[in-house]
């Protein structure tokens, strides 16, 4: 399984996420988040069997009697260990933008907005940002609109915040002391130069920088069988288009 064409970018990201989940964590996955959903189900199958996994809109992974308020209140109580967020833009200081591109009053793109993300980013113990594109339009010096702030003053109550940003090209680690991203791993098929060239701010490189390990046969097999089956009802299009059928090549 050494050929990087033998899996999709989404599969690579799901596998990358699966390796970051820690056993016994309470893990939440929000709406419109098929890549983290796949990663967390894969983690539970292969690496972290004791996690409590909550996936919104997925019956098998929904332990609450009421709606998504339950996940938000769980996080507000400080009981959510890991959550996943995405952003149209993510900046050097860990801010993400789910609101507008351009000026707020006459935007070029108006998005759906924050939902609970501006609370979850502070109250989940670790947040992994995920984005299926790694470009200078996504990773910007400063977001057009701060939906959630990566860095806040000492007196702001915060259980946690950004931990990693996972893309098809890289894994960025959050340096809490500095309040900036550090290039921790580049994905198979990419390179330090390629990541830097596609990031819209100067990115420091970890002294322990390495190439991320390719998805293993076991990871891909599990993803394409058990994980596919468990996700099929909630994410039929994602499963059909982004997770390969065993043996098929792109």
- Contacts with other proteins by CB under 8 A lie at 59, 62, 64-69, 75-76, 99, 104, 114, 118-123, 145-149, 152-153, 155-158
d(CA 225, CA 96): 33
The H-assigned helical ranges of 66-224 are 69-76, 117-123, 192-197, 217-222
Rounded least distance, CB 32 to other proteins, Å: 15
Rounded least distance, CB 10 to other proteins, Å: 23
Closer to other proteins at the Cβ: 86 or 147?
A: 147
Closer to other proteins at the Cβ: 48 or 86?
A: 86
Residue 31 contacts residue 57 (beta carbons within 8 Å): yes
Closer to other proteins at the Cβ: 122 or 181?
A: 122
Phi, psi angles (nearest 5°) of residue 55: -120, 115
Phi, psi angles (nearest 5°) of residue 49: -70, -15
Rounded least distance, CB 241 to other proteins, Å: 16
Closer to other proteins at the Cβ: 22 or 158?
A: 158
Rounded least distance, CB 214 to other proteins, Å: 37
Rounded least distance, CB 232 to other proteins, Å: 14
Q: Which stretches does DSSP call E strand in 46-156?
A: 52-55, 82-85, 89-91, 96-97, 100-102, 107-110, 126-130, 139-140
Closer to other proteins at the Cβ: 24 or 104?
A: 104
d(CA 187, CA 13): 9
């Amino acid at each position: 399984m050494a050929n990087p064409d033998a899996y999709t970018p989404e599969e690579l990201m799901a596998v990358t996420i699966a390796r970051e989940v820690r056993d016994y964590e309470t893990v939440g996955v929000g709406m419109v988040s098929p890549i983290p959903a796949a990663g967390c189900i894969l983690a539970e199958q292969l690496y972290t069997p004791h996690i409590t996994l909550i996936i919104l809109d997925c019956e098998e992974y929904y332990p609450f009697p009421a709606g998504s308020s339950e996940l938000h209140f769980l996080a507000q109580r400080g009981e959510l260990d890991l959550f996943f967020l995405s952003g149209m833009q993510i900046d050097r200081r860990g801010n993400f933008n789910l609101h507008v591109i351009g000026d707020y009053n006459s935007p070029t793109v108006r998005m759906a907005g924050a939902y609970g993300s501006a609370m979850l980013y502070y109250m989940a113990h670790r947040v992994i940002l995920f984005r299926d594109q790694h470009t200078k339009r996504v990773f910007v010096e400063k977001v057009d609109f701060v939906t959630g702030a990566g860095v806040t003053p000492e007196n702001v109550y915060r259980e946690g915040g950004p931990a990693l940003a996972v893309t098809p090209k890289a894994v960025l680690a959050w340096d809490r002391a500095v309040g900036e991203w550090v290039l921790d791993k580049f994905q198979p098929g990419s390179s330090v130069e390629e990541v830097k060239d596609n990031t819209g701010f100067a990115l420091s490189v970890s002294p322990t920088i390495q190439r991320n390990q390719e998805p293993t046969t076991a990871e891909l097999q599990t993803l394409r069988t058990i994980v596919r089956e468990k996700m099929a009802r909630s994410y039929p299009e994602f499963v059909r288009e982004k997770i390969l059928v065993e043996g098929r090549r792109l």
